[in-house]
């Protein structure tokens, strides 16, 4: 059985129509819609979700499985986020949950709360992965462990990365930096790891803005900050295909395939 994940992070603002352009891409592609955080700018309020996010990506709400960004937490407890997405965002106030797409197990995590070893989120993930042994798995959250964008590397999810790698997770999806970047297989310390490494995509191209790259990181394979768009992962029983799809008028594309190693 073949499934799909399609989406991006850093999405909606009432000051731009670029989120409407990326929403039109979602109209053309089936699958679960993921969000990599910072869904509604500037503060993730209930009003911003209704006025800015809903008119664009909101028509795909029923098939959306989101993750929160730091802008959601400018509203206390990210209440606008949890209220808007409801049960699709997992248990209220936690921001982490999992689900299956065909043969794949998928985990949505919350990089705005503690994720260190021994934290509630880390222990939940350990138990979840142990209870859901699959050949292929993916995870997504907002702040990337590795990034060549203006925010750069962020270590807060490094222990999570180690746990994902130990359990054979293939792909990590992030936002936060407003660009597209694909990394080669690597471990939590940024060392190339062709046998057990994770492939990371930064896809902060949902509509808010696009920013230049600052410090190019090791293992960064492909970068673009010229095109809004979405990333589509086609999930097969023993592997996956990726495709960055630009909005109308965008020229940048990226595609390829990977296998599952468990």
Element of type H or E holding 164: helix 158-166
Return the closest-CA partner of residue 223 out of 184, 185, 171, 180: 180
Q: What pLDDT does residue 203 have?
A: 98
Whether residue 144 contacts residue 186, with contact meaning beta carbons closer than 8 Å, is answered with: no
Residues 39 and 28: their CA atoms lie apart, in Å, by: 20
- Strand, helix or coil for residue 172: strand
CB-CB neighbours of 98 under 10 Å: 19
Q: What is the pLDDT along the chain (262 residues), one digit of tens a residue?
A: 689 999 999 999 999 999 999 999 999 999 999 999 999 999 999 999 999 999 999 999 999 999 999 999 999 999 999 999 999 999 989 999 999 999 999 999 999 999 999 999 999 999 999 999 999 999 999 999 999 999 999 999 999 999 999 999 999 999 999 999 999 999 999 999 999 999 999 999 999 999 999 999 999 999 999 999 999 999 999 999 999 999 999 999 999 999 998 6
Q: What pLDDT does residue 261 have?
A: 81
What is the end-to-end Cα distance of the chain in Å, rounded?
A: 18
Q: What pLDDT does residue 262 have?
A: 61
Q: Is 152 left (phi over 0), alpha (psi -120 to 50) or beta?
A: left
Q: What token pair was written down for 26? A: 């979602």
Residues 125 and 131: their CA atoms lie apart, in Å, by: 10
Q: What pLDDT does residue 225 have?
A: 98
Element of type H or E holding 255: strand 254-259
The CATH topology of domain 3-259 is Purple Acid Phosphatase; chain A, domain 2 (3.60.21)
Domain ranges of the chain: 3-259
């Amino acid at each position: 059985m073949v499934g799909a994940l399609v989406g991006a992070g850093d999405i909606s603002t009432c000051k731009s129509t670029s989120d409407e352009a990326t929403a039109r891409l979602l109209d053309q592609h089936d699958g679960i819609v993921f969000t990599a955080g910072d869904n509604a700018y500037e503060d993730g309020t209930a009003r911003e979700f209704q006025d800015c996010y809903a008119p664009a990506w909101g028509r795909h709400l029923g098939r959306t499985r989101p993750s929160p960004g730091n802008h959601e937490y400018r509203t206390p407890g990210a209440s606008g986020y949890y209220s808007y997405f409801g049960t699709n965002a997992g248990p209220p106030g936690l921001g982490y949950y999992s689900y299956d797409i065909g043969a794949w197990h998928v985990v949505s995590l919350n990089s705005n709360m503690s994720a260190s070893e021994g934290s509630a989120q880390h222990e939940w993930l350990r138990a979840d992965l142990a209870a859901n042994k699959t050949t292929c798995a993916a995870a997504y959250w907002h702040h990337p462990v590795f990034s060549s964008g203006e925010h750069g590397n962020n270590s807060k999810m490094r222990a999570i990365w180690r746990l994902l790698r130990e359990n054979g997770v293939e792909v990590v999806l992030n936002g936060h930096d407003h660009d597209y970047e694909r990394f080669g297989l690597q471990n939590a310390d940024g060392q190339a790891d062709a046998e057990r490494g994770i492939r990371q995509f930064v896809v902060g191209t949902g509509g808010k803005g696009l920013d230049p790259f600052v410090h190019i990181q090791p293992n960064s394979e492909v970068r673009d900050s010229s095109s809004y768009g979405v990333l589509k992962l086609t999930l097969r029983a023993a592997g996956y295909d990726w495709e960055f799809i630009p909005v109308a008028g965008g020229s940048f594309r990226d595609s390829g395939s990977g296998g599952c190693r468990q």
